[in-house]
């Protein structure tokens, strides 16, 4: 039976969008492999493990799918990666099915199996190793949640864009020849001969794993074809089999083969390690030659091209990851950040929007699932028609694409030392992180610093008063957490307070530096990313693993939680204590330490909310503190170097970390009571921006985004009537031109109304496919925890 | 600012990113005070020429903090909620600060032309990109001739942005002519044609209003003019008024488009908050259904009037 494009999408969609489950096969296979390879060098050991996993894990082909390659035994089955940690899995897995957000069904048999498998890993994981070496100051900062790194303590790197063009052009056989040439040319007396030799051996074994994986799909497709009665489907399966015999080992020859190759390169890293944000890069660029060739030869029309794109999108939607409970709090929503970047400029600065850019938006309209995410590079030469199409898509409530401003981003990459040509070839990762495609180990999302807590410590001479243990608040502890930075009662001006704050930030950035650099070393030692190293430029040339500085560009980029809570608090002290003398520092501290208790405490709190300027209203008095906070964070990272030979660059986003970090942060002078949410990413504090979106943009434009090559996340919520006719669409497009003028690094739109969300909270069954942006990526609303739902409902609605 | 713009008047709201009141992205400046008393008015806080205190009973938890905070003892807590003695209140705002639920708000703040222009200028880039600018609304902007003139002249000459006014056209002819040079877009209400009926419902006769519209249509052909009919079922959607409006529009020297705005109840709660009366008759009116709006649109088109949606 010939399926129409829509019929095919619907058929596959039903198989893809199912409840999430746990898959234990990977855990079993990796454990078996490790038992067999004791004593082997890490790169080889990892390659052997990957061979075993890719060779024996369950594989399937969705009915109607034209592309193959899966992560787990079924769609949205989460894998277990015991090489990174065993303890959180062991203690938390039985709650995965019932925890507030991010649920995974797990059977009693799976629990029993994992309990047994995890025994092997005690003392052998990344986290065990980290615990054994991290100094007490780092452990304490982690425990009290001033810093965190749920990501790299329990996962691999992720946060990269494979060099798709290279694999498409050369295939892994080509890569193998390259490695063999390198090996032949090695100077066997050189000091690094051993390291390189071991690395290359591992890489060759890894290529074997890839070869096995593709061959298994060819066989499965042939077998399925033989059992299929429908002649059309039989033909499709035969083609799938031929594709898998060809790619990814040999160069892709046409559009379909190219997409199959892309998907293999995209899915294997998800199995190798559990890194987030393995991204698709500039797909409208590297896929274009194949599209064009097939179209010119009249082998392909746009309907077929779109159908195959739909199939790729549906494959991305099968990927999911199981976060720990801590991770689930920070990365709420099952986003895994597979982002496609569209439009932008070439190395000469010319616009590169093409027919595929348009089709990539159409595919999202067809598929309407959370994955993949789409980023659009907005620049002065972007075709108006394309920008309009993207705006219409966003305004229709698709929550995609997110928009990036080329001008400021290219500048930010150049500021980070990247040459212009490479800077122009950037792609986006899962949130706002920007990297050079195919050449970068970004260290993105490498830890998180809570700026609001740094501020609180600056108000208490480094002493922590507030503690949240995961269940209850303890407002009365007394712990010297940060350095002594002076009793604020003795501060004579704002300068003193800013200095104290800055010193606290520097102390905790140092703790992060210790943590991240240790983790970098441990990852290289225990879990070199052997497949990543095949697909990122620089690793084979240098004979170094991706985790060990093999990539051309290497950064470490921690996040920031509550920057605006910190800056609004600074602005509040400036106005209330130093300028207008509404209250003395002594009274303010008393109110804070009692969590604004009593009549007078509450009165003061109201005054701090209503009579003090807040970020997001285009008011310099508040905005200059935000400018200070971001620049200070940037400066605090200067001088650090990571073990990969790269620099530290800050990024100002925290996904949904403002909820969890909020619990851990005591009361703040912006009028926020202890334990409440912090501000969302770089957005104004919820409900405190009262002048509409243009003012928020103006406030944000004062922050120098060119200091932040990994950007900030700016969520802007609009009511659904924002674009109800052609005229309003034009206005929305022009709004995006203005954002470009103002150098707004990143923006994404949530188009919705509060009532819809409330209803979804009360009747989740009715809103299963309600797609919501949670800080930088999409999530299904009904899958979020209640407090994150509350937060979204609470965020100011910019109605028109 | 070059021009000395020290003139002050009461502004009760400055709304940015407005996209339904003239072309492009605009900032609406609402001037307080209006000669009309349309019973359906959605901005009753814009009717008086002086500031007015609003108390939102819906949010009120009856905690009594405002009662204690009021230096004039103008607030008391009664069985059915908060009462404000408006004759005693001097609008000091102590209740606004004291209230934890943000129930209180003072509408109307004296602002100089200079101050307003400075605020309007902040969104310059958005106007430039979208072809938007300043829209002055009310109340009735023409009720503040000097202030309006300076504001519009500042927007045109200093900022170089597009200008619009939303007006009932209830003003002297000379006032209209004085500002007309500085206005690019006129958004004029047309509610009732029959003067007796207009006087009865709106409190003012219709002759001057219609005359002003005619002046704009006939004597200022280069100005964009949009007529807007708020459709209030039972008040102005009768066949006679529809026919009269259509006849009037057809009698103008150029084709002027008409926009139909469906009555909504968003203003209703404000009356209670301001201790103003929302008359029982208007209380009974329900928002017209989409079908009714479509029907009216058709009627106008049959009568030769071009209906637009913005």
pLDDT given for residue A331 in this prediction: 62
Residues 6+ apart with CB under 8 A from A573: A494, A497, A585, A588, A669
Q: What is the band of A210 on the pLDDT scale with cuts at 50, 70, 90?
A: very high
B-chain CB neighbours of A737 within 8 Å are: 129
Check CB contact under 8 Å for A738 and B125. Answer: yes
Q: How many CA atoms lie within 13 A of B173 on its CB side?
A: 8
Question: pLDDT tens, A145-204?
Answer: 999 987 888 899 999 999 999 999 999 999 999 999 999 999 999 999 999 999 999 999
In this structure, the number of other CB atoms found within 10 A of the CB of residue B289 comes to 11
CB contact under 8 A, B310 and A727: yes
Dump pLDDT digits (tens) for A230-253: 999 999 999 999 999 999 999 999
pLDDT digits over A672-715, tens only? Answer: 999 999 999 999 998 788 888 899 999 999 999 999 999 999 99
Name the residue in chain B with its Cα closest to that of A730.
B130
Q: Which residues of A touch chain B, with CB atoms under 8 Å apart? A: 602-603, 606-607, 610-611, 618, 691-695, 698, 722, 725, 727-728, 730-731, 734-735, 737-738, 741-742, 798, 800
Distance, CA of A176 to CA of A203 (rounded, Å): 8
Query: A124 and A522 in contact (C-beta within 8 Å)?
Result: no
> What three-state secondary structure class fits A677?
coil
Q: Which of A295-299, A750-754, B2-6, B269-273 has the lowest mean pLDDT?
A: B2-6
Render pLDDT for A462-475 as a digit per residue (tens, 0 to 9): 999 998 887 788 88
Mean pLDDT of A368-391: 95
**CA-to-CA dists, residue A470 to A157, A308, A668, angstroms:** 27, 46, 20
Task: Report the C-alpha gap between A213 and A50 in whole angstroms.
Answer: 10
Cα separation, A534 vs A518, whole angstroms: 24
In terms of pLDDT, which residue wins out, A76 or B100?
A76
Q: How do residues A304-354 score in pLDDT, each as one tens digit?
A: 999 999 999 999 999 999 988 877 766 655 568 899 999 999 999 999 999
State the best of A734, A740, A749 to mutate against chain B, taking most chain B CBs within 10 Å. Answer: A734
Inter-axis angle of helices A255-272 and A302-316, to 10 degrees? 10
Closest chain B residue by Cα to residue A607: B97
Average pLDDT of every residue of chain A: 92
Q: Which of A606, A692, A725 sits opposite B16 (nearest CB)?
A: A692
Q: Is residue A725 exposed (0-12), middle (13-18) or buried (19+ Cβ within 10 Å)?
A: exposed
Of the candidates A691, A698, A800, the beta carbon closest to that of B19 is on A800
> What pLDDT score was predicted for residue A799?
37
CB contact under 8 A, B100 and A606: yes
Average the pLDDT over A206-221 and give the result.
Answer: 98
Predicted pLDDT at A724: 72
- Decide if pLDDT at A776 tops 60: no
C-alpha distance across the termini of chain A, in Å: 49
Q: What sign for the dihedral angle of Cα A693, A695, A700, A704? A: positive
DSSP 8-state assignment for residue B159: I
Q: Is A652 helix (H, G, I), strand (E, B) or coil?
A: strand
Identify which of A618, A725, A735 has the shortest CB distance to residue B25: A735
User: Bigger pLDDT: A786 or B166?
Assistant: B166
Tell me the β-bridge partners of A747.
A403
Nearest to A738 among B18, B19, B126 (CB): B126
CA–CA gap between residue B241 and residue B245 (Å, rounded)? 6
| pLDDT for res A791 | 65
Strand partners, A779: A772
Between CA A771 and CA A373 the distance in angstroms is 12
CA angle A535, A540, A542 (to 5 degrees): 135
The per-residue pLDDT for A441 is: 98
Q: What is the DSSP string of chain B?
A: --S----EEEEEEEEEEE-SSSSSSEEEEEE---S---TT-S-GGGSSSS-EEEE-TTT-----HHHHH-TT--EEEETTEEEE-TTT-----HHHHH-SS--EEEE-EEEEHHHHHHHHHTTHHHHHHHT-EEEEESS-GGGSHHHHHHHHHIIIIII--EEEEEE---S-HHHHHHHHTT-SEEEEE----SHHHHHHHHSS-SHHHHHHHHHHHHH-TTSEEEEEEEE-TTTT-SHHHHHHHHHHHHHSSS---EEEEE--STTHHHHHHTT----HHHHT--PPPHHHHHHHHHHHHHTT--EE--
Determine the length of chain A.
Answer: 800
Structure confidence at residue A780 (pLDDT)? 61
Closest chain A C-alpha to B41 CA, distance in angstroms? 19
Determine whether the interchain pair B17/A737 forms a contact, defined as Cβ–Cβ distance below 8 Å: no
What residue segments make up the domains of chain A, in order of their start? 5-136, 277-320+338-428+714-800
**Cβ of residue B93 closer than 8 Å to a chain A Cβ:** no
pLDDT of residue A720: 62
pLDDT digits (tens, 9 = 90+) for B38-63: 999 988 999 999 999 999 877 788 88
Verify whether the Cβ–Cβ distance B97 to A610 is below 8 Å. yes
Structure confidence at residue A781 (pLDDT): 67
* Interface contacts A/B by beta carbons within 8 Å: 62
Q: Residue A87: its pLDDT value, please?
A: 95
Nearest by CB: B129 against A602, A725, A737: A737
- Which ranges of chain B have pLDDT less than 70? 1-5, 266
Q: How confident is the model over A50-78, as a mean pLDDT?
A: 97
A730 chain-B contacts, CB cut-off 8 A:
130
Cβ atoms of A437 and A159 closer than 8 Å: no
What is the end-to-end Cα distance of chain B in Å, rounded?
A: 33
Residue count (chain B)? 310
- What is the per-residue DSSP string for A525-563? HH---HHHHHHSTTHHHHT--GGGT-SSEEEEEEEEE-H
Q: Judge: B126–A735 Cβ closer than 8 Å, yes or no.
A: yes
Q: Which residues of A touch B15 (CB under 8 A)?
A: 692
Structure token digits, residue B135? 């829209």
Beta-ladder partners of B75: B84
Q: Could you give the CA distance from residue B151 to residue A739 in angstroms, rounded to a whole number?
A: 27
Map out the domains of chain B with their CATH numbers. 8-49+108-308 (3.20.20.70), 54-107 (3.30.70.20)
Contact A606/B126, CB-based, under 8 Å? no
Pairing outcome for strands A440-441 and A434-436 = unpaired
Helix H or strand E segment including A405: strand A402-405
Place of tokens 């052609």: A726
- 8 Å CB contact of B130 and A731: yes
Q: Closest approach of chain B CAs to the CA of A658, in angstroms?
A: 24
Residue A770: the pLDDT is 61
pLDDT at A686: 82
pLDDT category at A782 given cuts 50, 70, 90 is low
Q: Where are the alpha helices (DSSP H) in A24-107?
A: 25-36, 42-56, 87-92
ipTM over 0.95: no
In the block, which residue shows the tokens 């998180």?
A: A448
Q: What is the pLDDT of residue B98?
A: 85
DSSP SS3 for A376: strand
**Which chain A residue is nearest to residue B22, measuring alpha carbons?**
A727
Provide the shortest C-alpha distance from residue B96 to chain A (in Å).
9
B130 touches chain A (CB under 8 A): yes
């Amino acid at each position: 039976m010939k399926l129409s494009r829509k019929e095919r999408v619907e058929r596959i969609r039903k198989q893809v969008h199912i409840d999430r489950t746990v898959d234990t096969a990977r855990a079993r296979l990796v454990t078996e492999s490790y038992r067999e390879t004791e004593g082997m060098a890490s790169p080889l050991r990892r390659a052997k493990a990957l061979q075993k996993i890719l060779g024996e894990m369950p594989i399937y082909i969705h009915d109607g799918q034209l592309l193959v390659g899966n992560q787990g035994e079924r769609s949205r089955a989460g894998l277990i990666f015991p090489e990174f940690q065993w303890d959180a899995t062991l203690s938390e897995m039985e709650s995965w099915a019932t925890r507030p957000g991010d649920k995974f069904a797990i059977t009693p048999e799976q629990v029993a199996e994992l309990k047994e498998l995890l025994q092997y890993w005690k003392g052998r994981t990344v986290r065990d190793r980290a615990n054994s070496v991290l100094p007490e100051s780092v452990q304490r900062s982690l425990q009290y949640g001033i810093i965190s790194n749920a990501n790299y303590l329990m996962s691999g790197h992720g946060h990269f864009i494979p060099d798709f063009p290279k694999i498409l052009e050369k295939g892994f056989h080509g890569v193998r020849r390259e490695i063999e040439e390198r090996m032949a040319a090695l100077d066997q007396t050189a000091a690094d001969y051993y390291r390189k030799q071991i690395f290359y051996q591992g890489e060759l074994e890894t290529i074997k794993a890839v070869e096995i994986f593709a061959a298994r799909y060819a066989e499965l497709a042939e077998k399925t074809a033989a059992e299929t009665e429908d002649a059309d489907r039989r033909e499709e399966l035969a083609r799938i089999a031929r594709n898998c015999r060809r790619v990814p080992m040999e160069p892709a020859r046409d559009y379909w083969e190219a997409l199959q190759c892309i998907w293999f390169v995209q899915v294997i890293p998800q199995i190798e390690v559990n890194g987030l944000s393995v991204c698709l890069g500039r797909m409208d660029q590297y896929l274009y030659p194949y599209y064009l060739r097939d179209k010119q030869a009249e082998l392909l029309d746009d309907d077929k091209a779109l159908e195959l794109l739909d199939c790729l999108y549906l494959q991305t939607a099968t990927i999911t990851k199981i976060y720990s409970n801590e991770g689930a709090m920070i990365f709420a929503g099952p986003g895994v950040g597979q982002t496609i970047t569209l439009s932008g400029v070439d190395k000469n600065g010319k616009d590169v929007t093409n027919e595929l850019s348009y089709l990539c938006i159409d595919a999202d309209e067809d598929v309407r699932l959370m994955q993949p995410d789409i980023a659009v590079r907005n620049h002065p030469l972007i075709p108006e028609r394309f920008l309009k199409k993207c705006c219409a898509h966003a305004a229709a409530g698709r929550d995609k694409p997110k928009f990036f401003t080329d001008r400021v981003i290219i500048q930010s990459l150049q500021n980070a030392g990247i040459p212009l040509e490479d800077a122009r070839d950037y792609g986006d990762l899962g949130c706002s992180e920007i990297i050079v495609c195919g050449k970068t180990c970004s260290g993105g999302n490498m830890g998180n610093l809570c700026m609001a807590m740094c501020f609180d410590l600056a108000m208490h001479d480094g002493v922590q008063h507030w503690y949240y243990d995961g269940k209850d608040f303890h407002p009365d502890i007394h712990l010297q957490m940060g350095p002594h930075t002076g009793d604020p009662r003795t501060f004579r001006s704002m300068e003193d307070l800013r200095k104290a704050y800055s010193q606290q930030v520097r102390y905790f950035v140092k703790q992060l530096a210790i943590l991240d650099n240790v983790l970098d070393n441990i990852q290289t030692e225990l879990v070199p990313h052997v497949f990543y190293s095949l697909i990122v430029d620089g690793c084979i040339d240098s004979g170094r693993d991706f985790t060990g500085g093999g990539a051309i560009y290497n950064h470490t980029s921690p996040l920031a939680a509550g920057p605006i809570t910190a800056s609004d608090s600074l602005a509040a002290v400036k106005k209330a204590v130093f300028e207008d003398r509404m209250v003395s520092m002594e009274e303010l501290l008393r109110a804070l330490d009692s969590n604004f208790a009593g009549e007078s405490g509450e009165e003061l709190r109201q005054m701090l909310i209503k009579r003090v300027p807040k970020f997001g209203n285009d008011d310099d008095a508040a905005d200059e503190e935000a400018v200070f906070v971001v620049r200070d964070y940037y400066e605090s990272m200067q001088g650090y170097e990571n073990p990969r030979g790269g620099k530290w660059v800050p990024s100002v986003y925290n996904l949904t970390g403002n909820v969890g970090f909020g619990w851990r942060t005591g009361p703040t002078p912006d009028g926020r009571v202890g334990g409440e949410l912090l501000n969302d990413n770089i957005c104004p504090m919820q409900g405190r921006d009262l002048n509409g979106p243009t003012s928020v943009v103006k406030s944000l434009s004062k922050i120098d985004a060119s200091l932040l090559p990994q950007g900030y996340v700016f969520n802007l919520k609009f009511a659904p009537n924002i674009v109800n006719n052609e005229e309003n669409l034009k206005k929305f497009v022009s709004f995006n031109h203005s954002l470009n003028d103002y150098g707004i690094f990143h923006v994404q739109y949530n188009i919705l109304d509060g009532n819809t969300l409330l209803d979804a909270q009360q009747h989740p069954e009715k809103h299963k496919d309600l797609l919501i942006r949670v800080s930088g990526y999409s999530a299904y609303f009904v899958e979020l925890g209640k407090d994150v739902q509350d937060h979204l409902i609470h965020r100011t609605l910019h109605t028109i | 600012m070059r021009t000395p713009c020290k003139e002050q008047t009461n502004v009760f709201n400055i709304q940015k990113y407005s996209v339904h009141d003239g072309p492009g992205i605009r900032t609406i400046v609402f001037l307080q005070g209006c000669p009309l008393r349309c019973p359906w008015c959605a901005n009753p806080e814009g009717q008086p020429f002086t500031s007015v205190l609003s108390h939102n009973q819906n949010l009120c938890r009856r905690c009594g903090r405002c009662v204690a905070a009021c230096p004039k003892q103008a607030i008391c807590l009664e069985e059915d909620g908060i009462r404000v003695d408006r004759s005693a209140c001097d609008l000091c705002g102590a209740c606004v600060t004291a209230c934890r639920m943000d129930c209180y708000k003072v509408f109307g703040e004296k602002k100089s032309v200079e101050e307003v222009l400075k605020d309007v200028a902040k969104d310059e880039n958005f106007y430039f990109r979208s072809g938007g600018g300043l829209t002055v609304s009310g109340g009735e902007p023409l009720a503040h001739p000097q202030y309006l003139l300076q504001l519009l002249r500042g927007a045109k000459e200093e900022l170089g942005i597009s200008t619009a006014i939303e007006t009932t056209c209830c003003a002297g002819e000379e006032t209209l002519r004085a500002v007309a040079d500085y206005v690019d877009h006129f958004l004029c209400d047309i509610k009732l044609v029959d003067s007796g009926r207009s006087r009865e419902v709106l409190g003012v006769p219709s002759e001057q209003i219609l005359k002003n519209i005619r002046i704009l249509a006939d004597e200022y052909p280069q100005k964009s003019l949009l007529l807007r009919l708020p459709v209030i079922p039972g008040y102005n959607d009768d066949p006679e008024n529809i026919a009269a409006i259509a006849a009037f529009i057809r009698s103008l020297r150029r084709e002027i488009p008409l926009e139909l705005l469906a009555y909504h109840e968003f203003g209703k709660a404000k009356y209670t908050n301001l201790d103003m009366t929302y008359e029982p008759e208007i209380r009974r009116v329900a928002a017209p259904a989409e079908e009714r709006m479509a029907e009216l649109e058709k009627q106008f088109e049959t009568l030769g009037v071009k209906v637009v949606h913005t």
